[in-house]
Amino acid sequence: MKIKLYKNDLPDGLDLGPIVAIDTETLGLNPFRDRLCLAQLSSGDGVCHAVQFMPGGYNAPNLKKLLSDPNTIKLFHFARFDVTMFQRHLEVVTAPIYCTKIASKLVRTYTDKHGLKDLVRELLGVDLSKEQQSSDWGAPELSERQLAYAGNDVAYLHRLKEVLDTMLAREGRTELAASCFNFLPTRTALDLAGWGEVDIFAH
Condensed to tens digits (0 to 9), the pLDDT of residues 122-158 reads 999 999 877 666 799 999 999 999 999 999 999 999 9
* Selected residue with higher pLDDT from 134 and 163: 163
Residue 75 scores a pLDDT above 70: yes
pLDDT in tens, 26-60: 999 999 999 999 999 999 999 999 999 999 889 99
Task: Tell me which of 3.90.76.10, 3.30.420.10, 2.170.190.11, 1.10.10.10 is the CATH number of domain 2-193.
Answer: 3.30.420.10
Q: What is the pLDDT of residue 132?
A: 64
The overall average pLDDT reported for the chain is 96
Q: How far is residue 176's CA from residue 41's CA, in Å, rounded to a whole number?
A: 26
Instruction: Note the pTM of the prediction, 2 decimals.
Output: 0.96
Mean pLDDT, rounded, for 99-115: 98
Burial 1-31 (b: 16+ CB within 10 A, else e): bebbebeebbeeeeebeebbbbbbbbeeeeb
